[in-house]
Amino acid sequence: MTRLVRPHSRYQRSYLAASDEFAETGEQRDGDGLWAEEPEGDYAGFAFTRDSLEDPAEFERFVARRVASARPDAPRKPGWVPCTFLWMVEDGEYVGSLSLRHELSDFLLQEGGHIGYSVRPSARRRGHATEALRQAIPLGAARGIPRLLVTCAEDNAGSRAVIEAHGGAYEDSRNGTRRYWIDTSG
Protein backbone atom coordinates (compact mmCIF):
# COMPACT_ATOMS: atom_id res chain seq x y z
CA MET A 1 0.00 0.00 0.00
CA THR A 2 1.20 3.49 -0.84
CA ARG A 3 2.29 5.62 2.11
CA LEU A 4 3.21 9.29 2.18
CA VAL A 5 6.43 9.77 4.16
CA ARG A 6 8.85 12.57 4.85
CA PRO A 7 11.87 12.50 2.55
CA HIS A 8 14.58 10.27 4.03
CA SER A 9 17.99 9.04 2.94
CA ARG A 10 16.87 5.39 3.21
CA TYR A 11 15.16 5.90 -0.17
CA GLN A 12 18.30 7.13 -1.95
CA ARG A 13 18.65 4.18 -4.35
CA SER A 14 15.01 4.05 -5.42
CA TYR A 15 14.79 7.85 -5.59
CA LEU A 16 17.76 7.98 -7.96
CA ALA A 17 16.35 5.11 -10.04
CA ALA A 18 13.09 7.03 -10.33
CA SER A 19 15.01 10.17 -11.30
CA ASP A 20 16.64 8.20 -14.10
CA GLU A 21 13.22 7.06 -15.31
CA PHE A 22 11.97 10.65 -15.39
CA ALA A 23 15.10 11.73 -17.27
CA GLU A 24 14.58 8.98 -19.85
CA THR A 25 11.02 10.17 -20.52
CA GLY A 26 11.99 13.86 -20.53
CA GLU A 27 9.40 14.64 -17.87
CA GLN A 28 9.83 17.21 -15.16
CA ARG A 29 8.48 16.36 -11.76
CA ASP A 30 6.89 18.83 -9.40
CA GLY A 31 9.53 20.13 -7.00
CA ASP A 32 11.87 17.16 -6.90
CA GLY A 33 13.03 17.64 -10.47
CA LEU A 34 14.37 21.13 -9.73
CA TRP A 35 17.76 20.35 -8.27
CA ALA A 36 19.47 23.57 -9.22
CA GLU A 37 18.16 26.93 -8.11
CA GLU A 38 20.04 30.04 -9.03
CA PRO A 39 20.77 32.64 -6.34
CA GLU A 40 18.31 35.53 -6.37
CA GLY A 41 18.18 38.54 -4.05
CA ASP A 42 18.96 37.36 -0.50
CA TYR A 43 18.37 33.75 -1.55
CA ALA A 44 21.72 31.97 -1.86
CA GLY A 45 20.35 29.13 -4.00
CA PHE A 46 21.61 25.55 -4.14
CA ALA A 47 22.69 23.01 -6.70
CA PHE A 48 22.31 19.25 -6.75
CA THR A 49 23.29 17.12 -9.70
CA ARG A 50 22.37 13.53 -10.43
CA ASP A 51 26.00 12.55 -9.90
CA SER A 52 26.36 14.49 -6.64
CA LEU A 53 23.26 12.80 -5.20
CA GLU A 54 25.06 9.44 -5.44
CA ASP A 55 27.10 10.62 -2.44
CA PRO A 56 25.18 9.71 0.76
CA ALA A 57 26.23 12.96 2.48
CA GLU A 58 25.02 15.05 -0.45
CA PHE A 59 21.76 13.12 -0.59
CA GLU A 60 21.32 13.83 3.15
CA ARG A 61 21.79 17.52 2.42
CA PHE A 62 19.18 17.28 -0.35
CA VAL A 63 16.74 15.53 2.00
CA ALA A 64 17.34 18.13 4.71
CA ARG A 65 16.60 20.90 2.19
CA ARG A 66 13.35 19.18 1.20
CA VAL A 67 12.23 18.75 4.82
CA ALA A 68 13.20 22.33 5.74
CA SER A 69 11.06 23.71 2.89
CA ALA A 70 8.00 23.39 5.13
CA ARG A 71 9.32 26.00 7.57
CA PRO A 72 8.05 29.55 6.99
CA ASP A 73 11.57 30.89 7.66
CA ALA A 74 13.36 28.47 5.30
CA PRO A 75 15.41 30.14 2.57
CA ARG A 76 13.53 30.19 -0.73
CA LYS A 77 13.34 32.13 -3.95
CA PRO A 78 11.28 35.32 -3.86
CA GLY A 79 7.65 34.46 -4.57
CA TRP A 80 8.02 30.81 -3.53
CA VAL A 81 5.90 29.59 -0.63
CA PRO A 82 6.45 27.15 2.25
CA CYS A 83 5.93 23.61 1.00
CA THR A 84 5.77 20.19 2.60
CA PHE A 85 7.49 17.66 0.36
CA LEU A 86 6.34 14.08 0.85
CA TRP A 87 7.44 10.94 -0.89
CA MET A 88 5.18 8.11 -2.00
CA VAL A 89 6.61 4.80 -0.84
CA GLU A 90 5.50 1.22 -1.39
CA ASP A 91 7.33 -1.80 0.03
CA GLY A 92 10.22 0.42 1.10
CA GLU A 93 10.74 1.87 -2.39
CA TYR A 94 10.24 5.43 -3.61
CA VAL A 95 7.46 5.51 -6.22
CA GLY A 96 6.70 9.23 -6.42
CA SER A 97 6.39 12.57 -4.71
CA LEU A 98 3.72 14.96 -3.54
CA SER A 99 4.12 18.63 -2.69
CA LEU A 100 1.68 20.39 -0.36
CA ARG A 101 2.09 24.13 -0.73
CA HIS A 102 0.93 25.96 2.37
CA GLU A 103 -0.38 29.00 0.51
CA LEU A 104 -0.92 30.17 -3.03
CA SER A 105 1.25 32.68 -4.87
CA ASP A 106 -0.19 34.33 -7.98
CA PHE A 107 1.38 31.63 -10.17
CA LEU A 108 0.14 28.78 -7.97
CA LEU A 109 -3.36 30.25 -8.00
CA GLN A 110 -3.33 30.26 -11.80
CA GLU A 111 -1.57 27.00 -12.60
CA GLY A 112 0.29 25.20 -9.81
CA GLY A 113 -2.22 24.75 -7.01
CA HIS A 114 -1.72 23.65 -3.42
CA ILE A 115 -0.82 20.09 -4.41
CA GLY A 116 1.44 18.73 -7.08
CA TYR A 117 2.31 15.07 -7.46
CA SER A 118 4.17 12.75 -9.76
CA VAL A 119 4.59 9.00 -9.99
CA ARG A 120 7.65 7.41 -11.52
CA PRO A 121 6.87 5.94 -14.96
CA SER A 122 7.36 2.28 -13.95
CA ALA A 123 4.89 2.65 -11.04
CA ARG A 124 2.00 4.35 -12.84
CA ARG A 125 -1.54 3.05 -13.17
CA ARG A 126 -1.36 1.26 -9.82
CA GLY A 127 -3.29 3.76 -7.68
CA HIS A 128 -0.31 5.53 -6.10
CA ALA A 129 -1.49 9.05 -7.00
CA THR A 130 -5.04 8.25 -5.91
CA GLU A 131 -3.89 7.02 -2.52
CA ALA A 132 -1.39 9.86 -2.06
CA LEU A 133 -4.02 12.51 -2.78
CA ARG A 134 -6.42 10.79 -0.37
CA GLN A 135 -3.77 11.01 2.36
CA ALA A 136 -2.85 14.61 1.50
CA ILE A 137 -6.34 16.10 1.80
CA PRO A 138 -6.46 15.80 5.63
CA LEU A 139 -2.92 17.22 5.78
CA GLY A 140 -4.22 20.31 4.00
CA ALA A 141 -7.10 20.51 6.46
CA ALA A 142 -4.66 20.24 9.37
CA ARG A 143 -2.77 23.22 7.92
CA GLY A 144 -6.00 25.22 7.96
CA ILE A 145 -6.60 25.12 4.22
CA PRO A 146 -10.39 24.78 3.75
CA ARG A 147 -10.18 24.19 -0.02
CA LEU A 148 -7.23 22.76 -1.91
CA LEU A 149 -6.51 23.84 -5.44
CA VAL A 150 -5.26 20.85 -7.44
CA THR A 151 -4.34 21.21 -11.09
CA CYS A 152 -3.36 19.03 -14.00
CA ALA A 153 -2.50 19.44 -17.65
CA GLU A 154 -5.53 19.59 -19.91
CA ASP A 155 -4.46 16.37 -21.64
CA ASN A 156 -3.61 14.37 -18.49
CA ALA A 157 -6.63 12.06 -18.26
CA GLY A 158 -5.09 9.98 -15.46
CA SER A 159 -4.51 12.93 -13.16
CA ARG A 160 -7.91 14.35 -14.03
CA ALA A 161 -9.52 11.07 -12.93
CA VAL A 162 -7.52 11.07 -9.67
CA ILE A 163 -8.61 14.61 -8.80
CA GLU A 164 -12.24 14.01 -9.72
CA ALA A 165 -12.32 10.77 -7.69
CA HIS A 166 -11.53 12.87 -4.62
CA GLY A 167 -14.34 15.34 -5.19
CA GLY A 168 -12.38 17.85 -7.21
CA ALA A 169 -14.81 20.46 -8.52
CA TYR A 170 -13.67 21.75 -11.90
CA GLU A 171 -13.50 25.55 -11.97
CA ASP A 172 -11.84 26.37 -15.29
CA SER A 173 -8.78 25.92 -17.49
CA ARG A 174 -5.96 28.43 -17.79
CA ASN A 175 -2.95 28.18 -20.07
CA GLY A 176 -3.64 24.48 -20.73
CA THR A 177 -4.08 23.70 -17.01
CA ARG A 178 -7.31 22.37 -15.53
CA ARG A 179 -8.09 23.83 -12.07
CA TYR A 180 -10.05 21.89 -9.45
CA TRP A 181 -11.02 22.68 -5.85
CA ILE A 182 -11.26 19.97 -3.19
CA ASP A 183 -13.09 20.72 0.07
CA THR A 184 -10.94 19.50 2.98
CA SER A 185 -13.80 19.26 5.47
CA GLY A 186 -14.66 15.81 4.16
Predicted local distance difference test score (pLDDT) of residue 153:
94
- Over residues 128-178, the pLDDT tens digits come to 999 999 999 999 999 999 999 999 999 999 999 999 999 999 999 999 999
pLDDT at residue 32, rounded to an integer: 45
pLDDT in tens, 7-46: 999 999 999 999 899 888 877 553 444 455 666 666 666 7
**Concatenated DSSP letters of the chain:** --EEE---GGGHHHHHHHHHHHHHHT---TTTT--EE--BTTB--EE--TTGGGSHHHHHHHHHHHHHTTSTTS---TT---EEEEEEEETTEEEEEEEEESS--HHIIIII-SEEEEE-GGGTTSSHHHHHHHHHHHHHHHTT-SEEEEEEETT-HHHHHHHHHTTPEEEEEETTEEEEEEETT-
Task: Read off the pLDDT band of 116 (50, 70, 90).
Answer: very high
* Each residue's pLDDT tens digit, 39-85: 666 666 677 888 889 999 999 999 999 999 999 999 888 888 999 99
pTM of the predicted structure, to 2 decimals: 0.90
